[in-house]
Amino acid sequence: MEPLDLELDDGEIELPTEPMRLNLGPSHPAMHGTVRIVVELSGETVTKADVQVGFLHRGFEKMCERGTFTQCFPYVDRLNYASPLLNNVGFALAVEKMLGVTVPVRCQYYRIILGELARICDHMVCSGAMCMELGAFTPFLYLCKAREMIWDIFEEETGARVTHSFGRVGGMAAPPTSDFKQAVRATLPAVLALVDDAEKLVVTNRIFLDRVDGVGIMSAAEAKALGWTGVCLRSTGVAYDVRKSHPYSGYDTVEFDVPVGSRGDCYDRFMCRSEEVRQSVRIIGQALALLPDDGPVNVDDPRIVLPPKDEVYSTIEGTIQHFKIVMEGIKVPAGECYSYTEAGNGELGFYIVSDGSGTPWRVRIRPPCFANTSGLAKLVTGAMIPDIVPCFGSINMIGGECDH
């Protein structure tokens, strides 16, 4: 059929159009309350996106410059509040690297077990929230139930459910409780069963697959240049896991696989997280067998570790030692170091500059999800509006960490 208005110019047929701007967040249920994404649309396709972070900025780095090294622990807890124990250990390892001390074997495996439990929590929160944002509410409830079981262990061990502040330079705040091994062994099968149940609900679900499969694709080279780490990088096929590539804290003595994706889409990121939960369970199983039942947890160095409380109250040496560490802080040799560990989202780095006093001159955190989130604009440009939600969910952006 021929066009009706043959004599009209092209310009007159075309209606003048302007790009439409849409504002997502920061008050949006799928934006986790801390991110604003301004997108420019052509129809329903995103032509331009600007991701704005910083709504949860609390001046973490400035605060760390005001106290002692030990006083940084509560702050690092609040960076990635989905897996605070991993942050604790990451910071402790950075200071220990400068001090040149290595914690006893018992502490190393204790850190591995607590850290892997925290990683399981982190991945479950991310996967659960991602499902929920796509309309699948039940997996979120299942995974929260599983997280609750792990939190019970944390509560028993550390006394707190969320922000534990349990790490210390040169050890941990307390040794494992007597029924720690038993509790972990009893809990893990129940957690795995719930993870399986939650996963079964979505991975064969057509609605879920349509939203994540082939959506938000990132190539390996781009991901590396963007500084992506952790699950996001591994989903593109790069098998970079700090625990394998640069083993620390006894990770070289346990066996585990590094799951990688093939396409780098939301589906790969989701499945990598699921598999990592299982690998973490595998690591915990081995570490439980290797964890000695007795022996010291802290390094034997009175300049670093606080003396036992009864000594503080009954001997002058203990009192002085306690006073020196609390009032002056641990004297860290002058210099700078970059220490990195595998946190829930990827490589968590601490770049610490010390001037030789008990107060850090500069504590720089390299938050994994800051780099990951910076790639979000790239992921959603060219996608549709509904694709923004799974892309954002699969990045696992944690506000406290991303915004420092």
Partner 1 sequence: MSHKVLEALVERFGAAIEETHAQFGDDTAVVAPAHWHEVALFLRDDPRCRMDMFVDLTCVDYLGRQEPRFEVVLHLRSCDKAQRVRLKARLDDAADGTAPALASVVDVWAGANWFERETYDMFGVRFEGHPDLRRILLYEEFVGHPLRKDYDAQKTQPLVAYRTGNVEKLLPFAADEGMPFGRQTHHRWRDVEATRPTPAETEAED
List residues binding partner 1 (CB under 8 A). 18-21, 23, 38, 40, 48, 50, 52-54, 57, 59, 61-63, 65-66, 97-98, 221-222, 224-228, 238, 240, 245-246, 335-338, 340, 347, 349, 351, 353, 355, 361-362, 364, 366, 370-371, 373-375, 378, 403-404
Q: What minimum distance in Å lies between the beta carbon of 362 and partner 1?
A: 5
Q: Of the two residues 288 and 337, which places its CB atom closer to partner 1 in the complex?
A: 337
Q: Strand ranges (DSSP E) for 327-401?
A: 335-342, 347-354, 360-366
Closest to 245 measured CA to CA, from 233, 12, 267, 350: 233
Q: Of the two residues 20 and 141, which places its CB atom closer to partner 1 in the complex?
A: 20
Structure tokens at 72: 């940084």
Query: Which positions ≥6 away from 77 have C-beta within 8 Å?
Result: 84, 87, 88, 163, 164, 165
Q: Of the two residues 227 and 296, which places its CB atom closer to partner 1 in the complex?
A: 227
Q: Of the two residues 24 and 129, which places its CB atom closer to partner 1 in the complex?
A: 24
Q: Of the two residues 335 and 382, which places its CB atom closer to partner 1 in the complex?
A: 335
Q: Of the two residues 194 and 376, which places its CB atom closer to partner 1 in the complex?
A: 376
Q: What minimum distance in Å lies between the beta carbon of 240 and partner 1?
A: 6
Q: What minimum distance in Å lies between the beta carbon of 18 and partner 1?
A: 4
Residues 261 and 95: their CA atoms lie apart, in Å, by: 34
Query: Which positions ≥6 away from 352 have C-beta within 8 Å?
Result: 94, 95, 98, 332, 336, 337, 339, 360, 362, 363, 364
C-alpha pair distances (Å), 100 with each of 95, 170, 301, 355: 9, 10, 12, 16
Q: What minimum distance in Å lies between the beta carbon of 54 and partner 1?
A: 4
Block residue for tokens 């159009």: 17
Q: What minimum distance in Å lies between the beta carbon of 369 and partner 1?
A: 11
* C-beta of residue 244 within 8 angstroms of C-beta of residue 260: no
Return the percent helix, strand and coil in the chain, to nearest 5. 50, 10, 35
Query: Which positions ≥6 away from 204 have C-beta within 8 Å?
Result: none
Q: Of the two residues 245 and 314, which places its CB atom closer to partner 1 in the complex?
A: 245
Q: What angle do CA 364, 365, 369 make, to 5 degrees?
A: 150
Q: What minimum distance in Å lies between the beta carbon of 98 and partner 1?
A: 6
Q: What minimum distance in Å lies between the beta carbon of 279 and partner 1?
A: 21
